[in-house]
C-alpha cells in the first residue's frame, strides 16, 4: 500500500504553480488554433478575390492536351486499321478519294490552281510585339495550337486587335499572315481546311510549283492589305508567274468564304489604273484566269455578321449565355470575355465586308422576304421534293410556315410576328446619347455601348424591329467609329448607274451589286455551296439589364416557335450551309450574273453547284465526305471532284451545268432587281 501511495503522490499532489502553467499552455494552444483558423480564412478570402480565369484557360489546355493525345493514338495505329474498321461498319470497300479515282481515269495536272482562304482560316504570326509577348517572335497567334490564348489571354487580345482609328497595326505591334500552303491547310491540329483538297490535287500530279495559297491578313480591309503588305500586287505577280511557267495555261482560282469577296475586289483592283489599282488593264483577267470556283461565297453578306457586330453573338454563343447567364461575363469569371472579344473584333474592318448588301430589295422588308413560305421541319430541302404551297397539295401546305425573314432584328417574339400596320416604332436616330450609365469605372474594358447612355440604349429597343436597310443605321448608331472606318472601304447598296464615276472607287469593288464583272467572256464563274442545314437568317433580341458593364442587347433564347417552327432559341433559320444562306451564296449566279446583264456585260458563263448535306456515316469518316457545312464542305468528295475536273481542263458544261437542290431560282425571281 505504501508503494501505491508513493506512485499516486506525484499525480495527485500538484502545486498551485503547476496548475497555472497548465492553464497558460491551454491558452497558448487555443491562440494557435485561432491563428490557424484566421490564416485559413484569410487565404480563403484571397482565393475568393482571385479570378478563376487562369483555371479556365488551364482547363482549355487540358482539353487540348487530351485532343493531342488522342491524335497521337490515332497516328500510332497501323495505317490500314481505320480503313478496316470503316469497311467493317459500312459493309463494303470504301470509295476511292477523288484524286485516286480521277487519276485512274487518266486526269493529270493541267491549269495552275490558286487558293484564296476566308476569314479566320488563315494563320497569323507575330513579327513585333509588346513586352508581354516576349519569346513569341514568328510564333502563330492565330491558327495552330492557340497556346498563347489560354496562357496569356489579355496579351493575345492586345496583339490580335488593330488600331481603332486607322484599322491598321497599333504602335509597336506587327502581326502578319503566314505564307505558303501551310498558311491555311489546317486551322488547328487535326482540323483541316484546305488540306484534303490539296492532297487530292497532288494525287493527279500537282505540287507547290503549280499550287499557290494567296494568304492575306483577313483582319484588315481589302484595300489595306495592299497598302500595308502589297498583298494584291503579290497575288498578281504570282498568277502571272504561274501562267508563264506553266506554258501559258490560265489559272483556276478557288476562293472560300470571305475570300470570295476578297478576290472579287482583286479582279477590279488588278484592272484599275494606278495608284489605286494594279494597272493590269481591262483584259488582264481574260488573259490569266480560266475559272473562279467560289466555295461558300457570301456574295450578298451574311445575317450572322450583324449579330456578331451588334452583340458579339451567334446561335451557339447565345445558347451558352442563355443556359448559364454570366458564364461569359464578369459575373462568373471576373473577366469580361464578350466585351474583350467585341472590342477586338470591332477593330477588324474585314468583318464589315459581310454585312448584308442590297438592302430590303434583296433581303425583304417588314412584311415580305424572298424565301416566303418555307418548310422548316424538313431536314433537307430539294428542288424535286421540297414541300411547296400549291392548290392541289394541302398536306404540304400545312407544313409551310410564312416566315418573314425581312425583319433581321426584332425586340421580342411578338414584334417579329406582328403585322407592320400594328407596329409602333420610335425613331432612334435622333436620340441623345450620353455617358450616364450607373457606373462604368469598374468595367475591365471600354466598349462604345458605354458612350450610349440609358437614353441611347432605350431608343434602340423602342424602334422594335430592323430590316436590312435600318440595320445599317443601327450599326452607325451603336458603333460609329467602326462604321466610319468601314464606310471608307465597303458599300452595301445597289447601283442605279454603273457608269457613274464614283463606282470606280475601291469601296465598291467587293459589292457585286455596285460593280461589274471583268471583260472576260471565256472565263467561267461557279457558285459552289452546301444546302440542307438550318442557317441563321434573322434574330429575336431582348434588353439585358444585368450590369452596366455587360453588352446591353442579347439574343432571346427563350423565343421559340415550337417543333415545326423556323424560330429556335431566338434565331430564325433558313436553308444554307450553316453560315451563308442560300440567298446570299446563289443569287448572283442564279439571276444577277446569268447571261449578259448590266452586272455581267461580257456574258461570263455562270454555274450553280449545290451539295446536299449528309452527316458522317461513322466516327472514322471524320467530318464527312458529303458534308455541306461551311468549312467541312472543303472535304466534300463531290466538290473536290468538280474542282479537280475543272483544273484538269473541263468546263461547266462538262460537269453537267447547274446542280440545284434548293429553291434559289424561285426565290431569285421574287427579287425585283433591274438587270
**Residues labelled as active-site residues:** 257, 577, 630
Whether the Cβ atoms of residue 334 and residue 442 lie closer than 8 Å to each other: no
> How many residues belong to the chain?
675
What distance in Å separates the CA atoms of residue 554 and residue 261, rounded to the nearest whole number? 29
Query: E strands along 430-560, which residues?
Result: 465-466, 524-531, 533-543, 553-555
Write the burial class of residue 465 (CB in 10 Å: 0-12 exposed, 13-18 middle, 19+ buried). Answer: buried
C-alpha grid cell, residue 114: 490558286
Q: DSSP string of 109-177?
A: --S-EEEE--TTTS-EEEEE--GGGTT-TT-EEESTT-HHHHHSHHHHHHHH---TTTSSPPTT-EEEE
Sheet holding 251-255: strands in order across?
A: 211-213, 113-116, 251-255, 289-295, 524-531, 605-612
Helix (H, G, I), strand (E, B) or coil at 347: coil
> Residue for cell digits 450620353?
434
The 8-class DSSP code of residue 283 comes to T
Helix (H, G, I), strand (E, B) or coil at 634: helix
φ/ψ (deg, to 5) at 477: -75, -45
φ/ψ (deg, to 5) at 346: -75, -10
What distance in Å separates the CA atoms of residue 136 and residue 148, rounded to the nearest whole number? 9
Amino acid at each position: 500500500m505504501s508503494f501505491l501511495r508513493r506512485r499516486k503522490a506525484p499525480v495527485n499532489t500538484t502545486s498551485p504553480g503547476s496548475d497555472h502553467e497548465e492553464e497558460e499552455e491551454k491558452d497558448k494552444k487555443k491562440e494557435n488554433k485561432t491563428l490557424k483558423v484566421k490564416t485559413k480564412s484569410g487565404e480563403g478570402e484571397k482565393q475568393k478575390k482571385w479570378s478563376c480565369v487562369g483555371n479556365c484557360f488551364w482547363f482549355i489546355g487540358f482539353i487540348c492536351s487530351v485532343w493531342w493525345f488522342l491524335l497521337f493514338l490515332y497516328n500510332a495505329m497501323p495505317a490500314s486499321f481505320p480503313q478496316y474498321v470503316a469497311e467493317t461498319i459500312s459493309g463494303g470497300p470504301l470509295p476511292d478519294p477523288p484524286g485516286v479515282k480521277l487519276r485512274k481515269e487518266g486526269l493529270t495536272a493541267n491549269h495552275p490552281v490558286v487558293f484564296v482562304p476566308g476569314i479566320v482560316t488563315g494563320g497569323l504570326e507575330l513579327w513585333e510585339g509588346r513586352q508581354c509577348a516576349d519569346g513569341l517572335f514568328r510564333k502563330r497567334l492565330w491558327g495552330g495550337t492557340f497556346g498563347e490564348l489560354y496562357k496569356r489571354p489579355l496579351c493575345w487580345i492586345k496583339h490580335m486587335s488593330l488600331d481603332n482609328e486607322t484599322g491598321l497595326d497599333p504602335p509597336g505591334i506587327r502581326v502578319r499572315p503566314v505564307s505558303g500552303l501551310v498558311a491555311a491547310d489546317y486551322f488547328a491540329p487535326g482540323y483541316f481546311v484546305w488540306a484534303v483538297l490539296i492532297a487530292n490535287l497532288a494525287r493527279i500530279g500537282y505540287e507547290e510549283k503549280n499550287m499557290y495559297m494567296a494568304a492575306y491578313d483577313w483582319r484588315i480591309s481589302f484595300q489595306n492589305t495592299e497598302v500595308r503588305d502589297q498583298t494584291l500586287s503579290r497575288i498578281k505577280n504570282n498568277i502571272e508567274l504561274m501562267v508563264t511557267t506553266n506554258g501559258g495555261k490560265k489559272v483556276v482560282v478557288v476562293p472560300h468564304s470571305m475570300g470570295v469577296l476578297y478576290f472579287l475586289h482583286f479582279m477590279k483592283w488588278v484592272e484599275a489604273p494606278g495608284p489605286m489599282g494594279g494597272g493590269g488593264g481591262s483584259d488582264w483577267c481574260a488573259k490569266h484566269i480560266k475559272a473562279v470556283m467560289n466555295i461558300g461565297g457570301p456574295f450578298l453578306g451574311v445575317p450572322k455578321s450583324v449579330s456578331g457586330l451588334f452583340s458579339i453573338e451567334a446561335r451557339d454563343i447565345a445558347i451558352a449565355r442563355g443556359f448559364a447567364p454570366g458564364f461569359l461575363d464578369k459575373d462568373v469569371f471576373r473577366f469580361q470575355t464578350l466585351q474583350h472579344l467585341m472590342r477586338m473584333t470591332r477593330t477588324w474592318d474585314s468583318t464589315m465586308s459581310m454585312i448584308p448588301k442590297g438592302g430590303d430589295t434583296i433581303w425583304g422588308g417588314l412584311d415580305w422576304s424572298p424565301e416566303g413560305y418555307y418548310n422548316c421541319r424538313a431536314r433537307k430541302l430539294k428542288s424535286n421534293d421540297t414541300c411547296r404551297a400549291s392548290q392541289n397539295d394541302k398536306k404540304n401546305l400545312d407544313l409551310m410556315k410564312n416566315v418573314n425573314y425581312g425583319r433581321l432584328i426584332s425586340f421580342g417574339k411578338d414584334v417579329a410576328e406582328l403585322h407592320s400596320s400594328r407596329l409602333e416604332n420610335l425613331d432612334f436616330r435622333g436620340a441623345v446619347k450620353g455617358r450616364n450609365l450607373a457606373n462604368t469605372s469598374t468595367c475591365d474594358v471600354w466598349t462604345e455601348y458605354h458612350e450610349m447612355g440609358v437614353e441611347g440604349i432605350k431608343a434602340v429597343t423602342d424602334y422594335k424591329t430592323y430590316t436590312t436597310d435600318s440595320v445599317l443605321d443601327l450599326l452607325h448608331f451603336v458603333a460609329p467609329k467602326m462604321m466610319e472606318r468601314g464606310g471608307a472601304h465597303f458599300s452595301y447598296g445597289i447601283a442605279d448607274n454603273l457608269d457613274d464615276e464614283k463606282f470606280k472607287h475601291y469601296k465598291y469593288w467587293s459589292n457585286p451589286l455596285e460593280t461589274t464583272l471583268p471583260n472576260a467572256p471565256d472565263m467561267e464563274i461557279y457558285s459552289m455551296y452546301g444546302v440542307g442545314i438550318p442557317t441563321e437568317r434573322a434574330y429575336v433580341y431582348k434588353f439585358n439589364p444585368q450590369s452596366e458593364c455587360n453588352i446591353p442587347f442579347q439574343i432571346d433564347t427563350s423565343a421559340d416557335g415550337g417543333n415545326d417552327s423556323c424560330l429556335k432559341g431566338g434565331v430564325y433559320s433558313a436553308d444554307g450551309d450553316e453560315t451563308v444562306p442560300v440567298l446570299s451564296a446563289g443569287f448572283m449566279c442564279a439571276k444577277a450574273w446569268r447571261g449578259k446583264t448590266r452586272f455581267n456585260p461580257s456574258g461570263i458563263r455562270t454555274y450553280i453547284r449545290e451539295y446536299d448535306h449528309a452527316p458522317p456515316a461513322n466516327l472514322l469518316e471524320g467530318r464527312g465526305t458529303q458534308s455541306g457545312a461551311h468549312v467541312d464542305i472543303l472535304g466534300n468528295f463531290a466538290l473536290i471532284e468538280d474542282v479537280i475536273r475543272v483544273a484538269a481542263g473541263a468546263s461547266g458544261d462538262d460537269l453537267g451545268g447547274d446542280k440545284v437542290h434548293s429553291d434559289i431560282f424561285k426565290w431569285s425571281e421574287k427579287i425585283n432587281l433591274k438587270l
